[in-house]
Chains A and B, each alone.
Chain A
């Protein structure tokens, strides 16, 4: 299925999710349309009674009451339409965010870690918001652009079938209009965004290199270049826009001409110049009503053309979201079937098989038993499967075959400590960072944990202790300090099992010593530690070293 088609299908699915509210929006729009017809009918009626029948205006109060009621009903229906549309968009966007969250959950930390966080956040935030216009404006208007003109056509036909035919003749043109408007709007949209994109690109490029320009004293010439480039883009864009705007001019032209033709036909009919057709029955009431309804016949279409860019925006954003959602179903881990819990004091790896490439399995039917309180070092060449084994024990990935039982439960089911290679900080205080994984940690526990990993002196230098911000003055922590902070999370949480992926790789010697000491403390406290490493000092910390290579695992 093409990208566009799958985006369309997905948007269709979301429309089903928001169907009650879309129906409510459309219903309110239809009520507003009917109220508009009623308003025009009362208006024409009053004019007829007042001008032709010369009824005193005081005796027309009933008709005036009807007119005001129709006006009020139209206003209320419009307000309700906006309300339902806004709610629908909100509901759909919330649903999409939930879908993406579920997708991340099934994808798992390993695959998620391979996509830039900025990209994922943009999908979650901006792409989801890009669906707003489609569900709040375009989709309901697409339905209204069919229903309301049909209603008006029905009324006009009952008044004067020849005038009805004038409008009806433009009806087959409507799909043509739509195509024209669509093509024009699409072109316009692309061109507009391309220009804006290029202009922004030029501007941002100069802003990014501003220091360089300042160093060479070249900011003024750069501003001049920016102006010249922008002017060039403008001239090129305007050439295409002159054509693109023609399509909406065509719609405008047909609407104007239809009104003019209807007006002149009715006028001549009322004078009795037209001797065939239904024009003999024309009165000021029916003639004026037909005239007043003619612009309303085209109005929904004009609105639709204004909302057309919402569709393009939603399709673009939808295509990218769908691609992400589908990628998660592609890599969906096989459900663990036939899991049998093993003894609660061991980690048992049974007949584990994992292959990215069927020729060369990463783990080829390995079995292993780790006792509670063991300190295990996994070593071996890079790409040999250390990290994969660690991820499987963490439950971040599922094996192709085999089972892992961690203290009597499937891998990843009970909370455990994890220390990856890229440390993770949140904006906020030291306490925020530790409570992220252990919400009920006491102040004392937090401070103790931070001291355990050698961050005590840094903490002492901050006025508000654990409640001071981590990143003051825009200066962050060094890589080593950040990794120690992550380790402090493990200290404060009191997990039975702690998995660490290359905990000392790329650290300065100070941080390395602190990490080693901290791991030693954890080991003495009876925690089960499993780490992948090459580091000699870490290997000596372990009471068992496993060599993971060529699909097998053996004691080294």
Chain B
């Protein structure tokens, strides 16, 4: 349960909203119970009065109060239900925002290396599912359980006050187990079945993807049937766990309802005894059992929600693990300060991943301030790894890297689903529109957007203006050039850009970036802006 704690604190940061929402649900439940209970009371009272009248006894019954009460509850139930749904849906959407924003803040503090193991579409889709599981925690689980407990307590107290203490104790003895069966017991009996389901499904997904990718080789070897059977067996294991969890939930629901119904029986039995002793009137006997019948509706929501709790806990645990802040110790090795004439110094830098042979070993490079250096290497020669070390994203396995604050154009173009302006402002948040247009002019993209109706506010990405690879690249380049860092690291700056445009941009860059230090990396000299010197990686 501890894994849920950070998320519960987050949810309870809106206590007023949650309380109001809860009260609206309570109003719905109470008007439903009130409608039935009062109707039961009314019918019994009228039946008794009717009998007296038929026997010629003078009798009267105030019809207006109960009649008005019944009409009130009927309307109140409808209104409260509608208000409750609208209000609580709004709450859920707010919680959804809270959870996503908090999660994003946490992720942005996490170590990049830890995250890079997780990137990729599968992790992203799992992240989405895990967040969704937390979104519904309040409305599906917390609110119904709390209200069921509250309404139960109210009924038990009412029984104690208006009927007898014995009846109150009797109700407690039947309803408390009923409540536990619908909540805690469901959770405990399904926990082990659902907790590992997501992991099992991801493992199976890997196997199915392998099955499809290896389909030709498996077919050739005559093994598709066997391998498919393996996948089917795993799938069946998962479905069977689902199915067992569902069945147990169903039995628990049935049992919880039996307990509530037994409370009804008890209330009726003891109520009739009290009636015979003359403690209560006939119509009051009917009131409590009929109100208790209304509890069935409240309890019926619980087992399903608690059957998912195991999965929700697993989701929370995964999110806590994946989004934990960076705990790797800061290297407190005393750094030699950077020479004031230099923008970048690499000393005997070795980069390696795990126990594999190093990508780069004992690499030396000194770049003076204002110098333009080009680095050329074929794919896989370790260009991007060096660029990451130069930009300070990665630490070398051995050796030293010292540099001025750097702006880094990564090899992969990253644009956000947002306006052109918002994408550029990431480079320099205080840039004026004029500056944005100038840098767009520089990367030969100004014409492309002056014709768009929204101009700088043109929406980029799948929902808006579609950019070609080269166009997106130039926007990303413009963003880096806006940045005020004295050192620029450009990894393949001109991917997808045609030769003529490239030359034009390269010439303009010289002027715009005058005085700055630029290290550009690429697969061939013509892929880079003109440099003072060029190195070749081998």
Contact = CB atoms under 8 A, between A and B. Distances in A.
A234 B96 CA distance: 10
Interface stretch (A2-10, A70-78, A366-374): A70-78
Contacts of B380: 478
Nearest to B221: A437
Contact of B246 (A136, A256, A426): A136
15 contacts: A51-B275, A89-B243, A93-B239, A124-B231, A125-B235, A205-B416, A208-B414, A220-B105, A223-B101, A225-B422, A241-B86, A260-B39, A264-B42, A268-B63, A394-B220
A424 B216 CA distance: 9
B219 A108 contact: yes
Contacts of A207: 104, 107, 124, 127
Contacts of A288: 40, 43-44, 286
A57 B276 contact: yes
Interface in B3-60: 35-36, 39-40, 42-51, 53-54
B286 A418 contact: no
B204 interface: yes
Given A98-B232, A417-B220, A472-B354, A291 B39 contact: yes
Nearest to A93: B239
Contact of B426 (A218, A268, A295, A493): A218
A361 B247 CA distance: 58
A79 B251 contact: yes
A238 B107 contact: no
Contacts of B239: 89-90, 93-94
B410 A212 contact: yes
Contacts of A225: 418, 422
Interface of B: 35-36, 39-40, 42-51, 53-54, 61, 63, 66-67, 70-71, 73-75, 77-78, 81-82, 85-86, 89-90, 93-94, 96-97, 100-101, 103-105, 107-108, 112, 115, 117, 119, 121, 124, 127-128, 131-132, 201, 204-210, 212-224, 226-228, 231-232, 235-236, 239-240, 242-244, 246-247, 249-251, 253-255, 257-258, 261-262, 264-265, 268-269, 272-273, 275-276, 282, 285-286, 289-290, 293, 353-356, 380, 391, 393, 407-408, 410, 414-418, 422, 426-427, 429, 461, 479, 483
Contacts of B43: 263, 266-267, 270, 284, 287-288, 291
Determine the main DSSP class of A at the interface with B: helix
Interface in A191-231: 195-196, 199-216, 218-223, 225-227, 230-231
Contact of B42 (A125, A263, A426, A474): A263
The 3 closest A-B pairs by CB, nearest first: A82-B250, A473-B354, A418-B220
Interface stretch (A112-120, A148-156, A317-325, A343-351): A112-120
B356 A82 contact: no
Interface stretch (A42-50, A138-146, A533-541): A42-50
A518 B272 CA distance: 93
Interface stretch (A169-177, A247-255, A519-527, A547-555): A247-255
Contacts of B39: 259-260, 262-263, 291
Contact of A424 (B70, B117, B213): B213
Contact of A499 (B53, B220, B289, B427): B220
Given A242-B86, A288-B43, A71 B261 contact: yes
A203 B250 contact: no
A52 B48 contact: yes
Nearest to A67: B265
Contacts of A117: 208-209, 212-213
Given A47-B286, A83-B250, A125-B235, A260 B70 contact: yes
Interface string A77-118: 111011101110110011001100100110011101100011
Contacts of B255: 75, 79
A511 interface: no
B51 A52 contact: yes
A267 B85 CA distance: 33
Contacts of A201: 417
Determine the main DSSP class of B at the interface with A: helix
A116 B35 CA distance: 57
Contacts of B212: 104, 112, 117, 120-121
Contact of A46 (B48, B268, B290, B391): B268
Contacts of A52: 47-48, 51, 282
A438 to B, nearest CB: 7
A56 interface: yes
A137 to B, nearest CB: 10
Name the residue in A257, A263, A489 with the highest tally of chain B Cβ atoms < 10 Å from its Cβ: A263
B258 A113 contact: no
A76 B204 CA distance: 35
A339 interface: no
Given A101-B232, A215-B408, 6 more contacts: A204-B124, A241-B89, A256-B35, A266-B43, A268-B63, A284-B48
Contacts of A222: 104, 108, 426
A220 B35 CA distance: 52
Contacts of A267: 42-43, 45-46, 63, 66-67
A450 interface: no
Interface string A357-383: 000000000000000000000000000
Nearest to B246: A86
B4 to A, nearest CB: 20
B273 A475 contact: no
Name the residue in B212, B251, B261 with the highest tally of chain A Cβ atoms < 10 Å from its Cβ: B212
Given A52-B48, A90-B243, A211 B220 contact: no
Interface string A29-44: 0000000000100010
A484 interface: no
A219 B112 CA distance: 14
A179 interface: no
Contacts of B222: 414-415
A475 B353 contact: yes
B218 A436 contact: yes
B245 to A, nearest CB: 8
Contacts of A54: 276
A424 B107 contact: no
A133 to B, nearest CB: 11
Contact of B47 (A206, A284, A394, A486): A284
A68 interface: yes
Contact of B127 (A204, A223, A284, A436): A204
B108 A97 contact: no
A316 to B, nearest CB: 16
B461 A205 contact: yes
B89 A205 contact: no
Given A78-B254, A113-B216, A214 B86 contact: no
Contacts of A203: 100, 103-104, 128, 131
Nearest to B42: A267
Given A252-B78, A253-B78, A270 B46 contact: yes
Nearest to A76: B254
Name the residue in A54, A81, A292, A425 with the highest tally of chain B Cβ atoms < 10 Å from its Cβ: A292
Given A109-B219, A226-B104, A426-B214, A125 B44 contact: no
A287 B44 CA distance: 9
Given A109-B216, A427-B206, A249 B108 contact: no
Given A82-B246, A86-B242, A436 B214 contact: yes
